[in-house]
Amino acid sequence: MLAFGAASCLLSAWITSRLKVVDPNERRLLIFIRMIGFLPYIAIEVVKSNIDVAKRIWQKDMPISPTIMTVPASQKTALGLVIHANSITMTPGTLSIDVGADEIEVHALARETLDPLLNGEMDRRVRKLEGK
């Protein structure tokens, strides 16, 4: 079933690109294909965040200190910014509040959960999706 879903998405993306409905500068089909390499990374981040949030709920000694910070975003396209912001929101314990041209405002369950975002790894991987 998943293979048919993936094939359907690829076929739809190909047809859309042939109809020239999509801005050719966005190269969405290439981003979609590169997304296959991004999925394992984001899946691992979601699992790690799930474990962290579960520990914070069940263990009284783990601090919960809600924090709002601005995370740099170096994406050049609106699609890249959306992918980055949605990737942040998908990981439990973090939520994208506002997206600017070169930054994303993030609410986190605890300050230390923002460290992986501040080191720029997710930003770099999403920028790689754009191919720039």
Express each pLDDT in 89-125 by its tens digit.
988 889 999 999 899 999 999 888 888 888 889 999 9
Residue 111's nearest CA partner among 53, 46, 63 is 63
- For the chain, the residue count is 132
Domain membership of residue 32 as a residue range: 2-130
Handedness of CA 107, 111, 112, 117 (dihedral sign): positive
Q: Total structural domains in the chain?
A: 1
Taking 90 as the threshold, does the pLDDT of residue 83 lie above it?
no
Partners of 103 in beta bridges: 72
Encode pLDDT of 11-63 as tens digits.
877 787 677 665 655 566 677 778 888 889 989 999 999 999 999 889 888 88
Looking at per-residue pLDDT, the higher value among 132 and 29 belongs to 29
Which amino acid, residue 101?
A
Neighbours of 73 (CB within 10 A): 23
First to last CA, the chain: 33
pLDDT at position 34, please?
A: 80
Alpha helix locations (H) across the chain?
A: 2-18, 28-58, 78-90, 115-118, 121-130
CA distance 96 to 87: 9
pTM as predicted:
0.76
